[in-house]
């Protein structure tokens, strides 16, 4: 697993953005899900870096990247980083929130993107409609903003299993990995700090303009509304397709890393 000492830092206009930069070749950027950091891709980084330059970012407010002190968008941060590095266009591989960021990048900064892989993700203004998942999301928000971190962690880790399994049906090593990252990120924040994130809106209207190759990867056991939305995203973009990974939910890259890596590598070879 990556040590913090191996990270590089970009001095953005609002604090340092941390990232791992390894390998050589065409650029692949890895974008993690909410509450965690670049270590989400511990099983992907060596596999991809064998043939590609891989940048795994800690997005603002996560991992070793600075918290915001003024309004920001994650896509703008990433565009600033890639321009600072004189890098790109890149293939963006994002999980959950990171997948939504990849979609935002394809909409807002098409010149920096040559393909996107979105796993467990749809447009960045997606809202769950499946009742079981909505209840988990609401409970996660309630416990987090009450300051009961232990209760929040239980909800967060239960959500990893998806709506059709219990948390104890997930490999405990995966849960421990996510717990460590989540505790590190949550500890960076206080209950009274402002939420400076500026979400994108009306994203669906712009998805048809995405002309780079798009691959949606979802676990069969994830929330049905998210899977349906991801498949719609693939059908709405100009060059999209969708695949499902059996026996996984929201994190196929953690539950079936070899299969996930093979899917991404095949996509990269197709470009």
DSSP structural state of residue 72 = B
Domain of residue 158, residue span: 131-186
What mean pLDDT is reported for the chain?
A: 95
Give the number of other CB atoms < 10 A from CB of residue 228.
Answer: 14
- Separation of alpha carbons 25 and 268, rounded Å: 12
Spatial CA neighbour of 254 closest among 153, 177, 159: 177
Q: Are residues 116 and 175 in the same domain?
A: no
> Is the predicted pLDDT of residue 2 greater than 60, yes or no?
no
> Is the predicted pLDDT of residue 166 greater than 90, yes or no?
no
Q: Are residues 143 and 122 in the same domain?
A: no
Give the number of other CB atoms < 10 A from CB of residue 183.
Answer: 12
Residue that is last in its domain, among 149, 167, 186: 186
Q: Are residues 178 and 248 in the same domain?
A: no
Q: Are residues 83 and 15 in the same domain?
A: yes
CATH of the domain at 219: 3.40.50.1820
Domain count, the chain: 2
Residue that is last in its domain, among 169, 186, 203: 186
Q: Are residues 135 and 122 in the same domain?
A: no
Residue that is last in its domain, among 170, 186, 202: 186
Q: Are residues 175 and 211 in the same domain?
A: no
Q: Are residues 245 and 154 in the same domain?
A: no
Q: SS3 of 23, please?
A: coil
Task: Give residue-wise pLDDT tens across range 57-106.
Answer: 999 999 999 999 999 999 999 999 999 999 989 999 999 999 999 999 99
H helices of the chain, where?
A: 45-49, 74-84, 97-108, 131-146, 149-161, 172-186, 224-236, 252-255, 257-270
> Is the predicted pLDDT of residue 36 greater than 80, yes or no?
yes
Q: Are residues 104 and 211 in the same domain?
A: yes
> Is the predicted pLDDT of residue 155 greater than 80, yes or no?
yes
Q: Are residues 209 and 92 in the same domain?
A: yes
Burial of 186 (0-12, 13-18, 19+ CB in 10 A): middle
How large is the average pLDDT for residues 224-247?
97
Q: Are residues 161 and 203 in the same domain?
A: no
The proportion of the chain whose per-residue pLDDT surpasses 70, expressed as a percent, equals 98
Report residue 149: phi and psi, to 5°: -65, -35
Q: Are residues 41 and 142 in the same domain?
A: no
Confidence grade of residue 33 (pLDDT, cut at 50, 70, 90)? very high
Spatial CA neighbour of 260 closest among 47, 3, 24: 47
Q: Are residues 72 and 86 in the same domain?
A: yes
């Amino acid at each position: 697993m990556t040590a913090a000492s191996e990270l590089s830092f970009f001095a953005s206009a609002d604090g340092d953005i941390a990232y791992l930069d390894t390998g050589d070749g065409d650029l692949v950027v890895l974008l993690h899900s909410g509450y965690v950091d670049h270590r989400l891709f511990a099983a992907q980084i060596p596999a991809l870096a064998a043939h590609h330059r891989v940048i795994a970012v800690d997005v603002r407010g996560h991992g070793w990247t600075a918290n915001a002190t003024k309004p920001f968008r994650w896509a703008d941060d990433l565009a600033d980083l890639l321009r600072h590095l004189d890098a790109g266009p890149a293939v963006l591989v994002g999980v959950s929130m990171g997948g939504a960021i990849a979609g935002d990048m394809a909409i807002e900064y098409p010149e920096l993107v040559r393909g996107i892989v979105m796993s467990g993700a749809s447009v960045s203004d997606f809202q769950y409609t499946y009742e079981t998942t909505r209840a988990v999301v609401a409970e996660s928000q309630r416990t987090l903003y009450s300051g009961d971190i232990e209760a929040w962690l239980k909800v967060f880790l239960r959500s990893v299993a998806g709506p059709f399994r219990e948390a104890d049906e997930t490999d405990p090593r995966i849960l421990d990995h996510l717990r460590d990252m989540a505790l590190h990120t949550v500890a960076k924040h206080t209950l009274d700090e402002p939420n400076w994130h500026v979400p994108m809106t009306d994203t669906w209207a712009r998805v048809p303009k995405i002309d780079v190759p798009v691959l949606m990867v979802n676990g069969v056991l994830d929330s049905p509304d998210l899977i349906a939305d991801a498949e719609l995203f693939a059908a709405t973009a100009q060059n999209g397709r969708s695949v499902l990974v059996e026996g996984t939910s929201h994190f196929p890259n953690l539950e079936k890393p070899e299969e996930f890596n093979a899917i991404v590598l095949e996509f990269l070879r197709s470009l």
